[in-house]
Every structure is written in structure tokens, then in C-alpha cells.
Structure 1
């Protein structure tokens, strides 16, 4: 099975909690605080693995979760960092967020992208000492890791893409020139997913060719396998138009070429300028040579007389060896000419924009939001009296209490900040 689109949830690990602890040793009566910090949570990364060719192994893995950080301990022992989760994906993977914004385009072996950062660990009480606080009994909780819905989209990376209408003989040609064994039958749309094969040239050289599902008229609008097919075409260095030369061909060869050109151009104008080779197949069938002449005439009339035209029989092998050597030469030429890009090996998307303080009065609840106050609430242990006072002072400092009073808050009203709820009272 071939899977080229997938939606997953990525969740970074939660940071470990800081701890309240005091040094207790013989002959050290006032040892002071020695609570360690919690470890940071692990992060989730996607990385390119050339041995992968689809998302099949991720199909039933809906949640990608990194490990949590461990809690701090006494004697200033900090918690261990949670293990990062590295998930392999095939080259050509495009990573998008839930708003369809592209986070990364992964094409190079070893390239990786951070998709969900781990939460920071909380501080232990040793961090809260100061001139006015000699023995603090405050420690922070660890923050939860990021959680994102990500969409993965695969655009196969092959050097040559076989483009043609159903039953043009693409799978037969692939099985003739490579060790790939795609499904071959005499009915249209036998190939429903892309097949990759390696064409060996001599003892050492080779190139990768992709047999893509058959194209039909209206594919640029999604007809047939539409966008699923055309998406994979964009990654190829060279397109091979395979056209059925048999007298029963539908559409007939000249029309087939025009329709293929039209569909590619309508999907993406850049595809119209892609280097291409036109190959007429089924030369072993009587009267195929007449259709080959008509095809050459069509190319000349279309202004594509520069495109090389080959005539082959994928069944008997006639003309195939000459085609392979020509493809190999063109692939080498185009690869050398292609601009080499210095791909960024580690991609870290920009952090979310910090949101300002905002209060919404919904029924009997005052819902408070904002990056700073939500982060402080997540860190605070509300069971700890000193920590609660610290949080109250923070709320006064950022003007939250003043804004609540302006909105008419009364004692006993419910205040909600993130996942925390508590009652308001005026000191």
C-alpha cells in the first residue's frame, strides 16, 4: 500500500517539576534550600530517511509523543531531560500546520524539522533564594510541551517521471528496464499509486524512474487521480511522455500529446517548460509506424520539434536500450546544470506570536488569556501558599486585578486561566 498524505498530532514532552527541599546534614543546622530543577520535556522531530518511500508505517500512528522530563530532587539534583522523538519520513515530504502553512520541505538526507518543542522544566526552591527570602518553600511545575496537528504531503523524488494516459504501457516499460514489478493488466488505471524503479546503466551508473498513475482529461481539476498524480510530477528532473501508437489508441497519439501538455500546463505553468522526451510505445503492433509519423508531425506543428522522439516496444524490448542511454545522458546533464542549494539541515519554525492580556466575560466566568499569564498559571502550584502569593503579586503587576475590577468582578466569581479555575476574593 502507498500512503502519500497523512494527518498526525505531535506533542512535546512535559517538563519535570522543580522540588522544595532543604539541606539536612549533621553539624549543618541551617543548610538552606537545595531543591533541583525539573528536566525539560523531549521534542518531536521529523527527519529524512532515504529508505522510506511512503507514510505507510505512520498510517496507524496518530500521536507522536516525546518523553516527559523527570522531576528535580534534593541536593541540587536536576531532573533528566526527556528523550526526543525522531520520526523518519521519505525524501520529498512537505510538512504543514493545521492552517496549511508550510513548516518545512524535507528533501536532503539527514534534514530534520522540529514539529513540537518540549516544555521547560520548573525551577526548584534553590532558585528562589534572595536577600528577603532565605528559605523559600516555592517550586515551579513543569510546562506542558507544544501540541500541533501536522499534515504530511509526499512529492516523490525521481529523476525521470513517466507521464501518459491509462494503458499507454508505463508499467510494462518500468518492469522492462528496472527490477520493479508493478501490477500490469489490459484495463485502464491498473496503476493507482506511483512505483519507483532504479535503472542500471553499465556497471556503476543508475537513475531513478517513477511510473505515475495514468492521467485523464480534466486532471488539473482533480478528475481521475488528478492532483494526486500531478503533485508527484513536480519533483522530476525530466518528463517522459509515453504515448500509445496502436491503431486502437484512445486518444489517438497526436491528441494524447496535446492533452498531456494541456493538463500539465493548467496544473502549474512551470511544468510546461520542463525538459521532456516523447516516446511512442507498442511499435510491435501493425500500423503503429503510421501513428509515429503523425505524432512527429504534431510535435513540429506544436513548436516542440526540439523534443527527442523515440519509438519502442516495451513488450519486445525494441528501441529500449537506446532510450535508456539517452535518458541517462539527459539526467546527468540536467543534474549538473541544476542549481545546488545549501539546504538548512535543522529547521526550527518561528515560535508563536506572544498574545496580550485579554479578558472575556462568558456567563458567570471570567476567562483570562494571554501568553504571560497562561504560562505563569501553568507553572504555579496553587496548593502552595507561597506560590499562590507570588502568582497574586504577578497578576497585580500586569494589571489583571485592575481590569477585572473595571469589568465588575465580585467576590465568589469564577476566574479561568488556561486549564486552571479559582474563585476571586478581594484582600
Structure 2
């Protein structure tokens, strides 16, 4: 073009200036405010390029906030893109966001992540993940299963002994022998072999290794529920046999646990005489009417006293109903009658001569299935009234 000649009005505009829209620019540039073509950026105050929101998303800019447009989960801070809009983080959306420790997007507490998006652990008191029992086995590692818990092999157990799918403690003549040998690892099921190798098969028993210096061997376990749980007159036989066995001494203990396994009552004492099935704490004829004066009670460590009517007692009626077959009665040391009962363990039905429900003595009202264990933490209820039902487990121990 000659000097002084006017420019051609049809000439193409400068690609870096004079734009009105992105299409006026080339090379991927965009039209910025002021009509200048520039390379798009994540801080130019406009939604451009591949961005799904203003200066966010698109794979090159930071993720977008909740409520901003998106095409894929990666466009969003929450990691959740639904309906092309970034969603607010929430537990259960399948993405670890917000306050989540984990989020597997399912309503189960039995896996590695709870419904509250908290990661399960080996001390959360719940069986989850690959655990084979509560906080036991699997990812919790070898030796993580306590006595009585499910096991798949010896290595699962803290005791290194798995028998028929349950962890048990070391074997010995008695629970006391196991304790004295330094092999006790807490309360639970152990194997005892009173007559040694080559005799009768070992027994699996519950051992209390902690209370009253430990070493207690359970001879009976009575679990009370809302239905009739015991209808036999043999339930205390093993306790008579155990307490008179060569491996046992004269110490006895009673223990009551609630349905959660917590001990709510316990007391230990020493029997002053030999026991037989028909002569335990009673001093009179085994079949006579129940009466505190016909018993030599066992004083307990907590100040209470314990009596056990014989297996052959056949008395009926109010207090006499306590003497029909085996029963365990604990009462305060100052009491002179059952009107201040502390703890009663007694089958629902008479066990000798008659088989009907026991009489309470209140207008021929019968005993109740729920009161086979009677306890409320007080000592002022009367067995001729309405004993308080207790749901839990009673154990009688010898040592």
C-alpha cells in the first residue's frame, strides 16, 4: 500500500485485539473484557474454555463449589455431580467428602465403613469388616479373640486354643490350678481335666479368674428369661459333686450377671460341713418344711448368708415352696426369715412329688416363670409376696 493511502476497511482485525466474542479469536484464545483476545485462565472472572463454572471445573481449573455446573464428578469439590450440578457433601453419597472418614454408599454396619461414615476399628465393640466375632479375627490379627469368642483356628485366640470353633483357656486340674500355673488370661471358658490324662474327658467350664483372688470353677449356670428355663431337679448336682471332689476345697462363690454380662451381685464364703445331694446347708430331715432354723447358713464376704435346700425336700406352701427340690437363697445376715430376701434362684415348678407351679402364699397366686431368678438390688422383699424378676445369669462356683 502506497504511503498516505487509507487502510482497507475490509481487512481482518488483529487476533489479539478488537474482539467482541470468543469466536473472533483464534488459537484457542477467548475474548476478555475490553475486547482483547487472551488465552483463557482460571482467574479471568468468566466461564470460558472447558470450564463448567466461572473459573472452575473442566479438568484444568479448580473444582467447583456446591450448586455450580459440572459434567463429571471431578469438576466438583464434593466429588459428586448429579444432573450436571455439583452436590452438597453428605454421608452415603459414596464419596469421601465433608466430615467423612469413609463412605461406601451402603446402609450397612457390617463392612469396613459404618452408616455414619466412620471407619470401623478393632475396638468398636461391633463385628464388622472381615472379623469373625466382635473385634476378633480377620484384620484384627492373630491372638485377637478372647475366651468364648468364635475362632477359625488356634492362632485366632489369645489363649492359642480353639475348640469346636470357640476360644477356650489353657487346661489344668481346676481353674485354681490354671491360675496358680500362671496360665489365666481373664474370666471365660477353660478346659479342666480333674483326673488327669487317660481318665475322663476334659470338661469345659467357666472360670472366674479375677474376683476374690480368682481361681473359681463354675459348677452350674442358670440363665433366666421370660419363659420357664429350668424344669429338672438335677441342675445343682454338679455343684455338690464339684465341691466334694478331691481337686476342690471348701470355698464357694455366687455371682449374678445382667444380660449385658456385668456382675451385679457376688459373694464368697466357706462351707463348714460336707455336702451331699440331700444334706447341704440343712440340718433337719431333708423333707421337712422349709425353715431358716433348720439350716446352717454359709456366711458370705458381703455380710449376707446363703442356704441351699436339699434335692429331696418336698415341702409346699409359702416359705415351704422354697424347700421343694434344690434352691439357692441369699439373705441379709441380720434376717430371721425370708422377709428380707436378697437373691433367690429357684425353678418355677415344684421338683419333688408334685410338678405344678410353686405357691406364693398370696391367695394361691402361683410362682412366675420370670422369677426363677429373683433380685432387685435390695433386701426387703418377701418370698411370700411377689419376688422381683431378674433376667440374667446366675453362676455357682467352687474352689
TM range (shorter): under 0.3
When normalised by structure 1's length, the TM-score is: 0.25
Choose between structure 1 and 2: higher helix proportion. 1
Structure scoring higher RCO (CA < 8 A, sep ≥ 6) equals 1
| TM-score, with structure 2 as normaliser | 0.26
Larger radius of gyration: 2
